[in-house]
């Protein structure tokens, strides 16, 4: 079934895995398309939810959004399994591999031995594909890496049953049925409008407003005796954007790429073009924002909270403008 499997490196793990998975099951879909058609662009700042003592900040929708929504949007039937028993989960996985059936897994980065040491944090929503098994080692197609990786089955099982926030519980998924005549253009238009509305949500901790909320928080930061916290807070924002996100506001570039791709589906090209450029501007502003955060962390005496906050607000205005445009599609 998955003879057409080809390993590829992607900007984002979930959209990358879904793209490879569906493509090898016969539905060719690019990463930006998988990301865009599930309305995955977002911004969330939740000061009450803490991860490692720091507020939850995300530059896209919650994990599993793409996997859950792609079936709804395209009418694909997905098999999604969670396990209680790690041994059973591993047995099932071996079975899938022996039947040469490609499956996706949710794992924790911390327990994956092939990750560089510095990258291994307790982030539980990392997606990867299992493509083979030799003795006790699984061959893994991980969208973060250039080549195929190998991972011992015990370690992989540990990573699949990591606990904590977004605990994967052995989550495994693959498409069971893909309709033959998928009409992307209808789904795309709906997805873009849905995403635009989500960015403009009145809820103050998400979308454009969430960005401004975080900007206000930054503008109120004071250095006094609090240097370590400020350094950690600023670099935490950057990590959520770059390391967990992709390449400095990379989700904005990813979405811009999606809007370009959407042009082929009989939608208003000028709106798509303009919005796409606005998202690039926002991505660029976010990258400058990250750079400012890092520079201030390096030299706290030069920390200028207002400049940093303004950069983030600038990005939020580009996104607001883009979302207002896209709503009109």
Residue from 28, 81, 91, 163 touching other proteins (CB under 8 A): that is 163
Among the listed ranges 18-26, 97-105, 118-126, 194-202, the one in contact with other proteins (CB under 8 A) is 118-126
Residue from 118, 181, 224, 301 touching other proteins (CB under 8 A): that is 118
Number of residues that bind other proteins (CB under 8 A): 54
Would you give the binding string for other proteins spanning residues 96-115, x where CB under 8 A is met?
--------------x-----
150 binds other proteins (CB under 8 A): no
H, E, C per residue of the chain = CCCCCCCCCCCCHHHHHHHHHHHHCCCCCCHHHHHHHCCCEEEEEEEEEEECCEEEEEEECCCCHHHHHHHHHHCCEEEEECCCCHHHHHHHHHHHHHCCCCEEEEECHHHCCCCCHHHCCCCCCEEEEEEEEECCEEEEECCCCCCCEEEEHHHHHHHHCCCCCCCCCCCEEEEEECCCCCCHHHHHHHHHHHHHHHHCCCCCCEHHHHHHHHHHHHHCCCCCCCHHHHHHHHHHHHHHHHHHHHCCCHHHHHHHHHHHHHHHHCCCHHHHHHHHHHHHHHHHHHHHHHHHHHHHHHCHHHCCHHHHHHHHHHHHHHHHHHHHHHHCC
Residue from 33, 93, 280, 308 touching other proteins (CB under 8 A): that is 280
Residue from 170, 175, 210, 248 touching other proteins (CB under 8 A): that is 248
239 binds other proteins (CB under 8 A): yes
Q: Which residues bind other proteins (CB under 8 A)?
A: 9-11, 31-32, 50, 52-53, 110, 116-122, 144-146, 162-165, 167, 231-232, 235-236, 238-239, 242-243, 246-248, 250, 253-254, 256-257, 260-261, 277, 280-281, 283-284, 287, 290-291, 293-294, 297-298
């Amino acid at each position: 079934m998955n003879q057409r499997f080809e390993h590829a490196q992607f900007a984002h793990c979930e959209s990358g895995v879904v793209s490879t998975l569906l493509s090898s099951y016969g539905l060719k879909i690019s990463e930006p398309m998988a990301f865009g058609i599930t309305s995955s662009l977002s911004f969330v700042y939740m000061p009450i939810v803490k991860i490692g003592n720091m507020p939850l900040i995300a530059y896209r929708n919650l994990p599993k959004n793409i996997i859950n929504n792609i079936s709804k949007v395209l009418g694909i039937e997905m098999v999604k399994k969670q396990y209680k028993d790690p041994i059973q989960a591993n047995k099932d996985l071996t079975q899938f591999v022996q039947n040469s059936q490609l499956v996706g897994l949710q794992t924790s980065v911390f327990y994956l031995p092939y990750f560089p040491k510095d990258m291994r944090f307790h982030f539980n929503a990392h997606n990867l594909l299992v493509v083979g098994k030799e003795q006790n080692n699984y061959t893994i197609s991980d969208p973060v890496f250039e080549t195929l990786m190998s991972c011992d089955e015990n370690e992989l099982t540990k990573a699949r049953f990591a606990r904590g926030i977004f605990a994967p519980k052995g989550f495994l998924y693959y498409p069971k049925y893909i309709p033959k005549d998928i009409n992307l253009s209808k789904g795309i238009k709906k997805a873009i409008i849905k995403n635009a509305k989500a960015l403009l949500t009145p809820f103050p901790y998400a979308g454009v407003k969430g960005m401004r909320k975080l900007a206000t928080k930054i503008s109120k930061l004071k250095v006094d005796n609090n240097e370590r916290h400020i350094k950690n807070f600023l670099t935490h924002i950057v990590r959520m954007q770059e390391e967990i996100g992709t390449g400095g506001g990379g989700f904005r570039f990813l979405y811009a790429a999606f809007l370009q791709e959407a042009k082929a589906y009989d939608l208003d090209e000028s709106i798509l073009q303009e919005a796409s450029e606005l998202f690039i501007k926002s991505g660029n502003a976010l990258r400058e924002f990250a750079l400012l955060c890092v520079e201030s962390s390096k030299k706290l005496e030069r920390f200028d909270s207002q400049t940093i906050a303004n950069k983030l607000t600038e990005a939020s205005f580009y996104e607001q403008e883009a979302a207002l445009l896209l709503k009109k599609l």
